[in-house]
Structure 1
Amino acid sequence: MGKTVAQLLSEIESSELTEWLAFDQIEPFGDPRADLRMGLVCSTVANHSLSPPKKPHRPSDYMLFSPERQDKPVLLQDPKAQSDLIRQALFGVKPS
């Protein structure tokens, strides 16, 4: 579990915390970086499968929260239609 800002400031100086924040802007670490690494693995596997894709997959294609993705959420009125849309987007399962 992460620490709160107050807990961090009780252990390190404000200037050190500021340096870490600046470093994260230059060389990100944590979950976003882990998502990028996993996106690289997924896109590599997809691009070098037995049936190459017509359009190469990018790491951001496999990242839910990527700076490259500018998708707007699709919210449908019908809950079943929303569920079917999510299932199709994630697993390629067509509605029955």
Structure 2
Amino acid sequence: MLFRLALAMGRTLQELRATLTYAEFQEWCLYYQIEPWGEDRADLRAGIVASTIANYAGKLRAEGSDPALPADFMPYLERPEPADPSDDRHLTDDELAAWADAAIFGIPPE
């Protein structure tokens, strides 16, 4: 997170560490959870535009095909394997926590 903040502020890590208090850093982390910035967010915006265009142009495709999603156009998004509809397994609390860490903080699950 510190690297993203330094890039967003146009500062080096050393400059940021010299001027940023831990309390302010925590506030930036909370703000990022509400309103993310950076390349991941830019990929999402581009994916929304691309999927909108693909779905509009797709009206000429075969009926019944699934619409394009923004994730289809996000190059570095890890896509899960398609779920088996007969699998009634639910995520455990630890699996949900790992998923939340990955989604919020960019920490990959172990």
Assess same fold via TM > 0.5: yes
**Preserved CA contact (<8 Å) 1:46 1:52:** no
Q: Normalization by structure 2: what TM-score?
A: 0.53
Higher relative contact order (CA 8 A, sep 6+): 2
Distance 1:5 1:15, change over 3 A: farther
Shift of 1:22: 1.9
- Equivalent residue number for residue 105 of structure 2: none
1:51 to 41, 57, 60: 60
C-alpha RMSD over aligned residues: 2.3
Distance (whole Å) between structure 2 residues aligned to residue 25 and residue 46 of structure 1: 29
Q: Displacement, 1:57? A: 0.3
1:60–1:66 contact (8 Å) kept in structure 2: yes
Which residue does 2:106 correspond to in 1? Answer: none
Gaps of 5+ in 1: 72-96
Residue 70 of structure 1: aligned partner:
80
Q: Return closer, same or farther for 1:46/1:63 CA change in 2, 3 Å cut-off.
A: same
Given that 1:36 and 1:59 are in contact with CA atoms closer than 8 Å, whether structure 2 keeps it comes out as yes
Number of residue-to-residue matches in the alignment: 70
2:72 corresponding residue in structure 1: 61
Distance 1:44 1:17 in 2: 36
Runs of 4+ in 1 over 2 A off after TM superposition: 1-7
Following the alignment from structure 1 to structure 2, what is the Cα–Cα distance between the partners of residues 18 and 47?
A: 40
How far apart are 1:64 and its partner, in Å? 1.6
Q: Write out aligned runs for 1:17-28 (5 A).
A: 17-28=25-36
Deviation at 1:4, TM superposition (A): 4.3
Identity %: 37
